[in-house]
Amino acid sequence: MKKLTNTLAGSLIAFAASLGAAQADKLTFYCSAQEDWCQLMARSFEDATGIDVNMTRKSSGETFAQIRAESSNPKGDVWWGGTGDPHLQAAEEGLTMEYVSPMRDQLHDWAISQAESAGNKTIGIYSGALGYGYNSDLLAANNLPEPACWKDLLKPEYKGHVQMANPNSSGTAYTTLASMVQIFGEDEGFEFMKGLHANINQYTKSGSAPIKAAGRGENTIGIVFMHDAVKQAVSGFPVKVVAPCEGTGYEIGSMSIIEGARNEEEAKKFYDWALSAEAQNLALEVNAFQVPSNKGAQTSESAPDMSQIKLIDYDFKKYGSSDERKRLLQKWDEDVSVLPQ
């Protein structure tokens, strides 16, 4: 009995002690960027504000699925990172909340137009252009010419050397499909996808997998976002990055506050902080080579120079809408994916 009283007394003291700490503010943070970047953002925000951060990292598709599943009882507060389409879709479905940050005047135009196209329910935090990368060792070993344009990839000598993700499962690959439709026009764009299909060795599930396989020497050319390719090159893999000569599409990595967030105030604090130059400079520490949306933030020397890349005028509103997405994907499924390779 005495033992029991002791335990009880001990635990009471423990509760009392935990009371002070437990009162601290907290934030549940869904992160769709790479793991180390997410970690760094979470820890730095804690240091900057003293708010406890609970971070979960999942791909943007997984996070979107989770937010939708939890919509009747939201668990998360803020969703940061990942390609813009699921953010736009979440805005369209009313899963995220409208917020106009006082930091807006510091941002590039493309970030603000992203926000405006979604009724201020999301905002751009970085951008990255689509392109491809190749493993220079493998290219040399197979005596292949160095590609420079999208159309180069259709050449028969690249048969079995090109990899891209499946547009049905990856936002990157859907951006590729939508970019081709916008660069070449819908009919020619689909002709391009059909020609490419003949050279593809595998449609991967995840968007950046093709360039990772290229880095490891499991594939020659991977169609990905250029910053992903740069990252492989910087990590020491023999990867060369190509900005295709016809011009290319791009993504805007976005951030949204979840509708019905339990810690709305903290979420807004995070939102403002994440748009600041100091927060966006953190990307360099973790080899994230996207272009930050804050005009004052630094860019890496290894990052692809956006001014040298021919960017198309990507129509996020049209190609991010679920109807257009469904139509293009269905067309791709019926006209392209069924062709023999």
Partner 1 sequence: MIFWIIVGWVGYVLLPWYMVEDGLWSFEWLFNGYPFDEDFAPALFLIGQGEKLWLAPLLIPLALPILLLGKPKSDPIYAKILILAGALGFGWLIAQGFGIGIRGFNFDWLKALFGEPKIRQFGMGYGAMLCASAFLFLLTQGIAARGAVNGDVFVVSAIGGVITIVTAFVFFPIANMLFSAFVTEDGAYSVSAFASKFFDDRLWGLGCFWGAKCGAAWNSLFLAIVVGLITTVLGLCFALVVTRSGLRFKRGIRALTVLPIITPPFVIGLALILLFGLSGSVTVFFADLFGVQPSRWLYGMPGVLIAQTLAFTPIAFLVLIGVVEGVSPSMEEAAQTLRANRWQTFRTVSLPLMRPGLANAFLLGFIESMADFGNPLVLGGNFDVLSTEIFFAIVGAQYDQGRAAVLAMVLLFFTLSAFYAQRAWLGKKSYTTVSGKGDAGVHPLMPNGLAIPVLAIATIWALFTAVVYGMIIYGSVVELWGVNNTLTFKHYVTAFSVRFEEEGIRWTGAAWDSFWTTISIAAIAAPLTAAVGLVTAYLLTRQNFAGKNAFEFGTMLSFAIPGTVIGVSYILAFNVPPIEITGTGVILVVSFIFRNMPVGVRAGIASMSQLDKSLDESSLTLGANSWQTFRRVILPLLKPAILAALVYSFVRAMTAISAVIFLVSAEYDMATSYIIGRVENNDYGLAIAYSTTLIFVMLASVGLLQFLVGRVQIGRRTQIGAERTI
Residue 149: both structure tokens together = 């344009």
**Which residue among 101, 199, 232, 254 contacts partner 1 (CB under 8 A)?**
232
100 binds partner 1 (CB under 8 A): no
Stretch that binds partner 1, among 65-73, 145-153, 273-281, 289-297 (CB under 8 A): 65-73
SS3 content of the chain, % helix, strand, coil (to 5): 50, 20, 30
Cβ-based nearer residue to partner 1, 186 or 333? 333
Q: End-to-end distance of the chain based on CA atoms, in angstroms? A: 77
Answer for which of 215, 244, 253, 292 binds partner 1 (CB under 8 A) is: 215
For the chain, strand residue ranges (E) read 26-31, 52-57, 78-80, 96-97, 123-135, 162-165, 200-204, 221-225, 239-242, 250-258, 291-292
| 203: contact with partner 1 by CB under 8 A | yes
Cα separation, 175 vs 171, whole angstroms: 6
Residue 37 and residue 81 in contact, taking contact as beta carbons nearer than 8 Å: yes
Total residues at interface with partner 1 (CB under 8 A): 66
Q: Buried b vs exposed e over 297-326: b needs ≥16 C-beta within 10 Å?
A: bebbeebbebeebebeebebeebbbeeebe
Estimate to the nearest angstrom the gap between the alpha carbon of 76 and the chain centroid: 18
325 is an interface residue for partner 1 by CB under 8 A: yes
Q: Which is nearer to partner 1, 106 or 206 (CB)?
A: 206
In the DSSP assignment, the letter for residue 107 is B
Within 10 angstroms of residue 167's Cβ, the number of other Cβ atoms is: 24
**CA–CA gap between residue 153 and residue 198 (Å, rounded):** 10
212 is a site residue for partner 1 (CB under 8 A): yes
Q: Does 64 bind partner 1 (CB under 8 A)?
A: yes
The interface region with partner 1, picked from 64-72, 111-119, 245-253, 263-271 by CB under 8 A, is 64-72
Complex with partner 1: residue 168 or 281, whichever CB lies closer: 168
Query: Among residue numbers 176 through 195, which ones bind partner 1 (CB under 8 A)?
Result: none
Q: How many Cα atoms occupy the beta-carbon half-sphere of 233 within 13 Å?
A: 20
Report the residue from 40, 41, 51, 55 that binds partner 1 according to the rule CB under 8 A.
55
Q: Which stretch binds partner 1 (CB under 8 A): 96-104, 112-120, 234-242, 266-274?
A: 234-242
Binding site for partner 1 (CB under 8 A): 15, 18-19, 22, 28-29, 34-35, 39, 54-59, 61-62, 64-66, 68-70, 72-73, 75, 85-86, 89, 138, 142, 160, 166-171, 174, 201-203, 205-206, 208-209, 212, 215-219, 232, 235-238, 262, 325, 329, 333, 337-341
